[in-house]
Amino acid sequence: DGGITQSPKYLFRKEGQNVTLSCEQNLNHDAMYWYRQDPGQGLRLIYYSQIVNDFQKGDIAEGYSVSREKKESFPLTVTSAQKNPTAFYLCASSSNRNTEAFFGQGTRLTVV
């Protein structure tokens, strides 16, 4: 079945540690996105990539980094510079401009 997979579903991080969230899609989509979801804040764009080996900062990129070495994969690293990383992270992909975005099931990151 085609889809977009995020892992892990739950992630716990100690303060000062970097962690990487995985996002893989087998939909052959060019565009991939990372959103952060906090209660009452909606979906805020962290980074996006519209083609392999290229990515752009979104509205809240500080403290995060990404790579897009393969079309299928768009991992997000939450660095120690991110002061408030506890949130629900959603990865999405879309085939083309102005088309439906397909979301993964999300990763809930908690700093302990």
**Residues in the site for other proteins, rule: CB under 8 A?**
6, 33, 35, 40-43, 45, 48, 50, 56, 58, 90, 92, 97-101, 103-106
| Minimum CB distance to other proteins, residue 76 (Å) | 15
| Minimum CB distance to other proteins, residue 16 (Å) | 28
Residue 59, beta-bridge partner list? none
Nearer to other proteins, 82 or 93 (CB): 93
Nearer to other proteins, 80 or 88 (CB): 88
Nearer to other proteins, 19 or 90 (CB): 90
| Minimum CB distance to other proteins, residue 108 (Å) | 8
Cβ(38)–Cβ(87) below 8 Å: yes
Cβ(66)–Cβ(79) below 8 Å: no
What single string gives the DSSP state of each residue in 59-107? TT-TTEEE--SBTTB--EEE-TT-S---EEEEEEEESSTTSPPEE---E
Nearer to other proteins, 18 or 105 (CB): 105
| Minimum CB distance to other proteins, residue 25 (Å) | 12
Nearest to 89 by CA among 41, 27, 53, 49: 41
